[in-house]
Amino acid sequence: MMVRIILACSAVLVILSLSCNNGQKSQAQFLFPDADTFPLAEAEKLSAETLDDIVRNISSPVEIAALLQKMNVPFSADYLASTRDVDRLSSNFDKALKLGIYGADLGYLNMYERTGNSVEVLQSVKKLADGIMVGQYFDFETIKRLSVSKSNLDSLLYLSIQSFNQIDEYLRSNQRGHLSALMIAGAWIEAQYFATQVVKDYPDELLINRIGEQKTILNDILLLLAPFCKMSSDYTSLCNYMNQLREKYREVTITYTPGEPETIEVDGRLTVIQNEESKVEMTGQQLSEIIELTQTIRNNVIQSN
């Protein structure tokens, strides 16, 4: 117990010291912690509960879908994972990982208001949620009704996203953090897949930067998965893939330029504009390798059952 507390405190201190590097400098840079040192190696020894305090949420795939919409990228069903083999999934590993994948697909469909097409994905989400005993948090009937009627997109998005938040909360607070980590990793992989597939046809700077910035989020995903990497061959394989992707991101540079936030009040609402800025530097070669490996990982994930 004492060792776990010391390890937990050390992890927080190391992560804080790695983070607090941009105060007075004119520019700072995001670097991965060294692969063979803290925190990744030590994170494997930490309990899932401790890591929950370090990494809580992962960006919602609906944000990527919203960005694609902003770029006027048309909807494409080709980006979606097939739901054909959902009934054949037997392990909790596959079910949780694919719950994240289909959750991201659902977010993409809903953002594009392709709600009529989403019933199949909804049914798959329900089956997988039931499969890992969290179906009670997914309000299938209401979400399906809102999808089919196409009546209230905001309510549909709210209920869908909230269901996933509740599943995540439940898994974390019931010593099933390994499944929550898989669900979050699955959603991130699918959102990253959308972004990297779209950028091939729409090389918009905003999207390229968003892909580059995933370096910081990938670091969080790796921390989240680290305690479970030796749990089974499935986890090990996923961790290996994610570490390969991390290597592809290693030379992508993210620099930060400091600036004071601006605050204005409009009609009683406070608006804060952040003037501190992050800037991504990524070569075409680095982007191509990230696109290729993301596709390999995602296709491997959706085919493995």
Q: How many CA atoms lie within 13 A of 183 on its CB side?
A: 28
84 makes contact with another protein (CB under 8 A): no
Nearer to another protein, 57 or 285 (CB): 57
The stretch near another protein (CB under 8 A) out of 132-140, 141-149, 153-161, 173-181 is 153-161
The stretch near another protein (CB under 8 A) out of 40-48, 132-140, 245-253, 276-284 is 276-284
Q: How far is the CB of 103 from another protein (least distance, A)?
A: 13
Give me the 100-139 binding string for another protein, x by CB under 8 A, dash otherwise. -----------x----------------------------
60 makes contact with another protein (CB under 8 A): yes
78 makes contact with another protein (CB under 8 A): no
State which of residues 23, 24, 26, 285 lies at the interface with another protein (CB under 8 A).
23
Retrieve residue 258's tokens. Answer: 């400091």
State which of residues 275, 288, 296, 303 lies at the interface with another protein (CB under 8 A).
275
State which of residues 1, 2, 3, 270 lies at the interface with another protein (CB under 8 A).
270
Judge whether 104 and 190 are in contact, CB under 8 Å.
yes
72 makes contact with another protein (CB under 8 A): no
141 makes contact with another protein (CB under 8 A): no
Retrieve residue 220's tokens. Answer: 């969080």
State which of residues 14, 29, 49, 59 lies at the interface with another protein (CB under 8 A).
59
* Binding-site ranges for another protein (CB under 8 A): 19-20, 22-23, 54-60, 62-63, 66-67, 69, 111, 154, 157-158, 161-162, 165, 206, 209-210, 213, 216-217, 220, 254, 256, 261, 263, 268-278
